[in-house]
Amino acid sequence: MNELEQAGLARLRDGWISGGAAFEFAPAEWKEVAAAANPDEQERRLLAIAAQALDVALRPAAPKTLKRRPPLPLLALPMLPERLRPSLRAALKYAADARLKTRVATLVASRGFVLHPMDWMPAVTDQESPDVYAPWVDWQAGAEGEKRSGREQLTAETWDDFYPAARRIALIDLRRTRPALARTLIETKGTSEPAEVRLPLVELMRFGLGTDDVPFLKSLSADRSGKVREMAGRLLARLGERGNPTDGGLENPIAELAAFIEEGKSGFIRRRTTYAPTKTKSPAQQARRADLFASCYFGDLVAHFGKTESDFIGAWQFGVDDNADLFLVRMVSASGGDAAVACLADLLVAAGGRLALLVLQLMLRLDGGRKRLLIRQILNDAQNLAALTQVEGAEAGWLEWGDLTSGKTLSALRAAVSGDNDIMKRSAEQYLETMGFLATAATAEKLIGEVVAAGLPPASPSLGLLRLNAALAQNQSHR
């Protein structure tokens, strides 16, 4: 289309938009084609020509600034084979929320694959997805261009070459292998960062925390941010450094908290000290006690009673006041030493029942082995299977068939899926999904057979993760 025609088309267009005859505005060649007896027909003919001109002769004008995103980075693991993607999508579809979807990705990563980005992408804020996805988290966060090569080491010089998620993963790795180097990096690079970046950096000190970290953490007592000071104080408390927080008032909060705890004696022959919560007299007192448990450090509390952390835990009378038990466990989780956390977890798991579920409050501090113990305990009881879904950071793909058959879980599942109680059935389907994550491939396969034999439809969506789990093993053997 030449310029005259374009100008004519623009005039015609303007004429038709406002209404009325537009024949006179048309280019001369178009007028010849559109000439007709009646004016309406002339307009229609011009309309047909204009429609074709708009369709074929004019191409859509590209905006001057089209923003292209950098290519999605390739990840360190291979993509899930195409033939497994339908099973994966079924498992993702059944996963009700982002946390459960991330769990599917974790299972797949544990078997050596990553998901197709059109099937699942970690969220920008996702810190639970497997480490292998860090480049995608950074890409989602708007990272422009590739920065880090896979083999590059995080140092002060390469600090800026890492995007935040990749840097976080690298720092965690460093804290586990060379904690002093990681500490130096956090110390030197963190000071110039704003508080919202400094806080998560200091939080990473919890990995590989040791006495060498004390001077640095103490230096943070003068940090500009209250949250950073509080985080450093808790980490110091875990190392046995006394904090003595003052609660902003003149009173001694440790003494105030201790007043809510009653020291007693038990045993006839070998007398031993016990600690039990006193009965609170009002909701205000209950609230104050909760605040004190949340703000004081465990080390300071046990020092007040002249005990070690483990002795105090051993002497605590669980079951007297459920709320006080919960507050104490949270306190240990926040500021207790590693030994105290392990001691408390072992004690609670051994106690079983409802008390074992308190271990869920310690999840961030527990190693994989103790998490497995807790899960086995839950399965053994089969009373609180719903707690399985709350076990944070559990490893994927380790649950053996014996773990299911030794307790009451399998029979409970069979009864639920074969029964008429829809609520029980739905709950059982949720447990099956969790077991799809925890189970080994062989266990997954067997479990599918068991519940299908018990009456669950073979194509029940709740079996999606179990099926994917089993299929992943078959695929590994094909590789």
Partner 1 sequence: MQLDLKTIEALAPDQASLGAAAKLTKRSNWPRLEAHEQLPLIWGECQGSGSNPYRVAFDTSDHGYKCTCPSRKFPCKHILALAWIGATAPDSFARVDQTPDWVNDWLGRRRKPGQPPAQAPARSEGKSIDEASRPEEIAPVEDAAAAERREAAQRKRAEDTRSAVSAALDELDQWIADQLRLGLAGFVNASSERCRRIAARLVDLKATTLAGRIDELPARLMALRGEERPDAAIRELGKLVLLGKAWRAAPDDAELKRLVSTSETRDQILADPDAVQVESDWEVLGEKIETRRDGLVSHATWLLDLGSPTPRFALLLDFFPASAGRRSGAFAPGDRFKARLVFYPSRNPLRALVAERLGDASPGAWPAFAGGAETDPLAAYSVFQDKTPWLSDCPLILPAGVIALDERDGAWWQAANDPHGIALPVAGSVNQTLLGLDLAATAALWNGARLELLASQSSMGRLDLS
Neighbouring residues of 112: CB distance < 8 A, sequence distance ≥ 6:
77, 78, 476
When the beta carbons of 56 and 255 are compared against partner 1, the nearer one is 56
The pattern of x and - marking residues 89 through 108 that bind partner 1 according to CB under 8 A reads -x------------------
Does residue 460 bind partner 1 (CB under 8 A)? yes
Reduced to 3 states (helix: H, G, I; strand: E, B; else coil), residue 78 is coil
Does residue 141 bind partner 1 (CB under 8 A)? no
Q: CB 117 → partner 1: shortest distance, Å? A: 5
When the beta carbons of 52 and 177 are compared against partner 1, the nearer one is 52
Binds partner 1 (CB under 8 A): choice among 1, 4, 86, 221: 86
Tell which residue, 80, 157, 121, 87, has the closest CA to residue 463. Answer: 87
Reduced to 3 states (helix: H, G, I; strand: E, B; else coil), residue 276 is strand
| Contacts to partner 1 from residues 110-139, by CB under 8 A | 116-118, 121, 139
When the beta carbons of 72 and 339 are compared against partner 1, the nearer one is 72
| Packing angle of the helix pair 409-418, 422-438 (nearest 10 deg) | 140
Q: Which of the ranges 176-184, 211-219, 441-449, 452-460 carries the binding residues for partner 1, by CB under 8 A? A: 452-460
Q: CB 67 → partner 1: shortest distance, Å? A: 5
Q: Which amino acid is at 110?
A: S
Tokens standing for residue 34: 């559109």
Backbone φ and ψ of 125, nearest 5°: -90, 5
Degrees, nearest 5: CA angle 49-55-60? 135
Beta-bridge partner residues of 362: none
Q: Which amino acid is at 369?
A: G
Binds partner 1 (CB under 8 A): choice among 28, 32, 63, 267: 63
Q: Which of the ranges 14-22, 268-276, 299-307, 344-352 carries the binding residues for partner 1, by CB under 8 A? A: 14-22
Whether the CB-CB separation of 275 and 216 falls below 8 Å is answered with no
Q: CB 427 → partner 1: shortest distance, Å? A: 18
Sign of CA dihedral 319, 320, 324, 329: negative
Binds partner 1 (CB under 8 A): choice among 3, 24, 32, 55: 55
When the beta carbons of 35 and 72 are compared against partner 1, the nearer one is 72
Whether the CB-CB separation of 94 and 462 falls below 8 Å is answered with yes
When the beta carbons of 73 and 253 are compared against partner 1, the nearer one is 73
Does residue 52 bind partner 1 (CB under 8 A)? yes
Does residue 226 bind partner 1 (CB under 8 A)? no
Binds partner 1 (CB under 8 A): choice among 1, 7, 72, 364: 72
Binds partner 1 (CB under 8 A): choice among 40, 144, 193, 322: 40
Separation of alpha carbons 84 and 458, rounded Å:
18
When the beta carbons of 33 and 195 are compared against partner 1, the nearer one is 33
Look at the block and give the residue holding tokens 């497995």. Answer: 372
Q: CB 477 → partner 1: shortest distance, Å? A: 18
Reduced to 3 states (helix: H, G, I; strand: E, B; else coil), residue 273 is strand
Q: Which of the ranges 41-49, 406-414, 429-437, 440-448 carries the binding residues for partner 1, by CB under 8 A? A: 41-49
Whether the CB-CB separation of 428 and 417 falls below 8 Å is answered with yes
Question: Under the phi-then-psi rule, with left for phi > 0, alpha for psi from -120 to 50, and beta for the rest, what region is 75?
Answer: beta
Separation of alpha carbons 276 and 364, rounded Å:
26
Whether the CB-CB separation of 175 and 182 falls below 8 Å is answered with yes
Does residue 56 bind partner 1 (CB under 8 A)? yes
Please count the residues of the chain. Answer: 479
Q: CB 365 → partner 1: shortest distance, Å? A: 35
Look at the block and give the residue holding tokens 């996702």. Answer: 126
Does residue 77 bind partner 1 (CB under 8 A)? no
Q: Which of the ranges 68-76, 234-242, 268-276, 329-337 carries the binding residues for partner 1, by CB under 8 A? A: 68-76
Q: Which amino acid is at 159?
A: W
When the beta carbons of 32 and 82 are compared against partner 1, the nearer one is 82
Separation of alpha carbons 290 and 320, rounded Å:
16
Q: CB 109 → partner 1: shortest distance, Å? A: 17
Residues in the site for partner 1, rule: CB under 8 A? 13, 16-22, 40-41, 43-45, 47-52, 54-56, 59-60, 62-63, 65-72, 79, 82, 86, 90, 116-118, 121, 139-140, 455, 457-461
